[in-house]
Amino acid sequence: MKPVMQSARVDPKSILCEFFKAGQCAKGFKCKFSHDLNVQTKGEKFDIFSDKRDEGTMEDWDLETLEKVVESKGKEYNQNKPTDIVCKHFLDAVEKKQYGWFWVCPNGNKECHYRHDLPPGYILKSQMKALLEEEANKLAIKDEFEDQVKAVCGRLRSNSGSYMLAEEKTLYHLLKNYEQIGSY
């Protein structure tokens, strides 16, 4: 087990001690990491729908700063033009739930010219599987309902009299339940 790598901007007490989590921390009160199991749930949520590199804007710059940036980035920008394509490494990290404070793009966080945010309405593969399973369950319910209606209709055609009235009531209740489930 290795200790957690820290960023200079992160308070170590906001990170749960990995050794404590495994029941092996010998430092006790002297440990610079937190021994509170609730710290994991208190962490700041990551916004995966916005790219952190977009936060710095030119609105606060003066003319001197602008000239320096244009001079230093002119050639570099033409070589590494940013695109609207989402970075495959970012997608993999989000799918595997690895994206967070310590995640670094293999292309380089600042150097990567692909987007590190999801477009609005993007559905992850893991979410897509859940949606497909839910749709399959709905189809199974629909098929079961249709089988029941066919069985009742078959009995209606073959029988007559008071038994037919009871079957019509059964069919009416089946249709009412179908409307409650929702139309497909």
Q: Where are the domains of the chain?
A: 1-43, 46-53+70-122, 125-181
Q: Which residue has the higher pLDDT, 148 or 55?
A: 148
Q: Which two tokens stand for residue 4?
A: 């957690």
Q: At 115, phi and psi to the nearest 5?
A: -75, 140
Judged against a pLDDT cut of 80, whether residue 22 lies above it is answered with yes
Structure confidence by residue, pLDDT tens digits, 35-92: 887 766 555 566 677 776 666 666 777 778 877 777 776 656 555 567 788 889 988 8
Side chain identity at 150, as an amino acid letter?
A: K
CA 155/CA 174 separation, integer angstroms: 14
Structure confidence by residue, pLDDT tens digits, 156-179: 555 555 555 666 677 777 777 766
> What pLDDT does residue 13 have?
77
| Average pLDDT of the residues in 12-27 | 84
pTM as predicted: 0.36
Tell me the CA end-to-end span of the chain in Å, nearest whole number: 52
> What pLDDT does residue 85 have?
87
Contacts of residue 65, Cβ cutoff 8 Å, sequence gap at least 6 = none
Structure confidence by residue, pLDDT tens digits, 90-108: 888 888 888 888 888 888 8
| pLDDT band, very low/low/confident/very high, at 184 (cuts 50, 70, 90) | very low
- For 10: left if phi > 0, alpha if psi spans -120 to 50, otherwise beta; the answer is beta
Please answer whether residues 92 and 83 qualify as being in contact, where contact means their C-beta atoms are separated by less than 8 angstroms: no
Q: At 16, phi and psi to the nearest 5?
A: -70, 135
CA 62/CA 95 separation, integer angstroms: 41
Instruction: List for the chain the helix, strand, coil content (%; round to 5).
Output: 55, 0, 45
> What pLDDT does residue 154 have?
65
> What pLDDT does residue 33 have?
86
CA 29/CA 172 separation, integer angstroms: 70
